[in-house]
Amino acid sequence: MKTFLVVGMGRFGSSLAKELCVLGNEVLAIDLQEEATQAISSQVTYAVTADARDPDVLRELAARNFDCAVVAIGNDIGTSALITLNLKELGVEKVIAKASSHTHRKVLEKIGADRVVFPEYEMGNKLAHALSNSNVLNFIEISEDASIVEIRTPKSWVGKTLRELDVRNVYGVNIIALRRGPKAEMLIAPGGNLPLEETDVVVVLGLDKNVNRIQKL
């Protein structure tokens, strides 16, 4: 079981806190508004009405003892940045912060956030990939120019082994896994002598420009 501190009980923060609890983690939810903490109190481990902008408050809540803190405030760059900075200065091992714009993201990265998430942007990217190419089943952005994509096996690849396809040299990507069979069993790091089947789903990792070439096959 991991321990999480989630600051900000808006739609994103409350959904995250509740799901983390469902997955068996210990969650402390914090919000400045009492009605927000009351609304979620029965669905998380602890819920506290407090001002996370005050480092003394975070110290009293033993913030540094949590495995991870999530700053889920996206509509106020100043507040988000201050809380993120407080958490890092208190020694929280991992701080994840939500951004509402590219400028916000840069600010959070500059002050030391271990990871910055941009839910609206990431979901927009994921939906765009799914809509523009019917072969794309899932899309995960791992950096500004790289992603992991699940795609149906291109027809020209069916019956060929991964060694024959040599995708790393030909396309500049890596096939890191396959989903195969009626239960979509995940095969991690499939061997080079494994021939691809028509119903296989390949999990491709690479730069976006190279992954896009695969999607168009």
Domains of the chain: 3-117 (3.40.50.720), 122-215 (3.30.70.1450)
Per-residue pLDDT of the chain (217 residues; tens, 9 = 90+): 899 999 999 988 999 999 999 999 999 999 999 999 999 999 999 999 999 999 999 999 999 999 999 999 978 899 999 999 999 999 999 999 999 888 898 999 999 999 998 876 665 555 555 555 555 556 566 666 778 888 889 999 999 999 999 999 999 998 888 888 887 788 888 888 989 999 998 888 888 888 888 877 7
Residue count of the chain = 217
Lookup result for tokens 């983390």 = 20
At residue 154's C-alpha, the angle toward residues 195 and 217, to 5°, is 135
CA distance 75 to 150: 32
Give one word for 17, left, alpha or beta, with left for phi > 0 and alpha for psi -120 to 50: alpha
At residue 106's C-alpha, the angle toward residues 68 and 64, to 5°, is 20
pTM value? 0.65
Q: Are 215 and 133 in contact (CB under 8 A)?
A: yes
Q: Look at residue 124 in the predicted model and tell me its pLDDT.
A: 58
Q: Look at residue 39 in the predicted model and tell me its pLDDT.
A: 95
How many CA atoms lie within 13 Å of 95's alpha carbon, on the beta-carbon side?
A: 26
Backbone angles phi, psi at 73, to 5 degrees: -100, 115
Question: What are the start-end ranges of the H helices in 156-207?
Answer: 162-165, 167-171
Q: Are 139 and 147 in contact (CB under 8 A)?
A: yes
> Residue 90's CB: how many other CB atoms inside 10 A?
17
Q: Are 99 and 115 in contact (CB under 8 A)?
A: no
CA distance 37 to 49: 6
Q: Look at residue 161 in the predicted model and tell me its pLDDT.
A: 92
Q: Are 31 and 62 in contact (CB under 8 A)?
A: no
**The two structure tokens encoding residue 144:** 């500004």
